[in-house]
């Protein structure tokens, strides 16, 4: 499968991805700015969207409907000093959709 990769997060988060040549979308932490940027990413039809954990709650309503389809694959990764668990929870949901069981549940 071939496709473009988008990276959504703060400037500090997206900078290393930009050095790799990926399409980066630095955004502020305000919910409306994050949602606006997330909608712009969806319009561009990316195959993979990487989101920093600290802004994931604001982006989740925008990506919620498309997470049931194969593309884009939305991956939340930890970025803050103290992870909130959102990235692990999102990974668990994706694995449950793929396998039918929650393999990350304690």
From first to last of the 106 residues of the chain, give the pLDDT tens digit: 468 999 999 999 999 999 989 999 999 889 999 999 999 999 998 998 999 988 988 998 888 877 777 778 888 888 765 666 666 666 666 666 666 776 666 5
Closest residue by Cα to residue 74 from 2, 1, 8: 8
Distance CA 74, CA 58 (A): 14
Task: Please give the angle made by the CA atoms of 87, 52 and 98, to the nearest 5 degrees.
Answer: 40
User: What radius of gyration, in Å, describes the C-alpha atoms of the chain?
Assistant: 13
Give all domains of the chain, ordered by start, each with its CATH number.
5-99 (3.40.50.10580)
Distance CA 89, CA 75 (A): 11
Question: Which uninterrupted H or E stretch holds 39?
Answer: helix 31-43
**What is the reported pTM?**
0.75
Adjacent-strand bridge partners of 69: none
């Amino acid at each position: 499968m071939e496709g473009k990769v988008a990276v959504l997060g703060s400037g500090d988060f997206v900078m290393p991805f930009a050095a790799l040549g990926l399409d980066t979308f630095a955004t502020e932490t305000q919910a409306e700015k994050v949602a606006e940027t997330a909608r712009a990413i969806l319009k561009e039809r990316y195959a993979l969207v990487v989101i920093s954990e600290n802004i994931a709650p604001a982006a989740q309503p925008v990506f919620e409907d498309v997470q049931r389809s194969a593309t884009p694959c939305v991956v939340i990764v930890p970025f803050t000093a103290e992870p909130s668990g959102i990235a692990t929870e999102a990974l668990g949901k994706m694995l449950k959709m793929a396998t039918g069981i929650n393999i990350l549940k304690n």
